[in-house]
């Protein structure tokens, strides 16, 4: 992984927009902070409106800029949806594994996502806060069953101790790259219209990377 993160002076080959969705307080902003800056704040404030951060990585010798969007989970901000989802090629559907209700709302969030985003978008279901194993309210089996039924990737993460956070984002970004690059090879015009811009919907997998065998707090992954 020595060359995973790109030099900011490098030419950007691809820009992938990824959105984080789910109820308020499930840890979407903390997941983004952990991935983009390797930070975690115990006094994080609720997101107001929409925010985004970027991170540049290298996949298969190509420089990819991930543009990751985070929005408030409260109902009053739902009006931003169409603009929020436009151009997204990946999504992390996040629930708090200590709050059953946040998991039960996943079907509604997924329906909204699929109603606004491209049908080929790559989606990963994320059970966050897996460091709080003793407070678990959502069995892994329930989440796996939902993910399999809806054809989603699935992983449990902890923004607090960083378990699986990088793996989850890289899995999504690499799968997007795999599909985009395959389209580039088969497109008549060489696929140049797919490069460096707001890509219109596609999906994800990362150079075969399984999570560490010594997983903490019952965190797990499936695809």
At residue 39, the 3 state secondary structure works out as coil
Average pLDDT in the 74-102 region?
A: 83
Q: How many CB atoms lie under 10 A from the CB of residue 22? A: 25
Question: Residue 146: inside a domain, yes or no?
Answer: yes
- Give domain status of residue 5, yes or no: no
Q: Is 18 within a domain? A: yes
In a domain, 3, yes or no: no
Q: Is there a contact between 75 and 109 (Cβ–Cβ < 8 Å)?
A: no
Instruction: Please write the tens of the pLDDT for every residue from 162-171.
Output: 999 999 999 9
Which stretches of 89-170 are assigned E, i.e. beta strand? 90-96, 122-128, 153-156
* pLDDT band, very low/low/confident/very high, at 223 (cuts 50, 70, 90): low
Phi, psi of 20 (to 5 degrees): -105, 125
pLDDT tens for 58-69 read: 999 999 999 999
Q: Are 68 and 54 in contact (CB under 8 A)?
A: yes
Q: Tell me, yes or no, whether 163 lies in a domain.
A: yes
CATH classification of the domain holding 34:
3.40.50.300
The range of the structural domain enclosing residue 193 comes to 14-222
Q: Is residue 65 part of a domain?
A: yes
Q: Which of 80, 62, 61, 60 is nearest to 71 (CA)?
A: 80
Does residue 37 belong to any structural domain of this protein? Answer: yes
Query: What angle in degrees, to the nearest 10, is found between the helix axes of 165-186 and 28-37?
Result: 80
Higher pLDDT, 161 or 186: 161
| Residue-wise pLDDT tens digits, 195-207 | 433 343 333 333 3
pTM for the model? 0.77
Q: Quote the CA–CA distance of 195 and 53 in Å, as a whole number.
A: 20
Number of structural domains (the chain) is 1
């Amino acid at each position: 992984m020595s060359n995973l993160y790109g030099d900011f002076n490098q030419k950007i080959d691809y820009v992938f927009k990824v959105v984080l969705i789910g109820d308020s307080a499930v840890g979407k902003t903390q997941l983004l902070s952990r991935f983009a800056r390797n930070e975690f704040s115990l006094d994080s404030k609720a997101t107001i409106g929409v925010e985004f951060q970027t991170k540049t990585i290298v996949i298969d010798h190509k420089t990819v800029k991930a543009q990751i969007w985070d929005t408030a989970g409260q109902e009053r901000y739902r009006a931003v949806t169409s603009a929020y989802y436009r151009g997204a090629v990946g999504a992390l559907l996040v629930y708090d594994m200590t709050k059953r209700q946040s998991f039960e709302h996943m079907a509604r969030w997924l329906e909204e996502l699929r109603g606004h985003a491209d049908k080929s978008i790559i989606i990963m279901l994320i059970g966050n806060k897996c460091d709080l194993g003793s407070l678990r309210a959502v069995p892994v089996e329930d989440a796996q069953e939902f993910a399999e039924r809806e054809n989603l990737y699935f992983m449990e993460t902890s923004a607090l101790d960083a378990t699986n956070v990088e793996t989850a984002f890289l899995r999504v970004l690499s799968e997007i790259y795999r599909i985009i690059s395959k389209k580039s090879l088969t497109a008549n015009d060489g696929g140049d219209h797919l490069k460096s811009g707001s890509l219109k919907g596609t999906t994800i997998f990362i150079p075969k990377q399984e999570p560490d065998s010594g997983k903490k707090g019952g965190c797990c992954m499936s695809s």
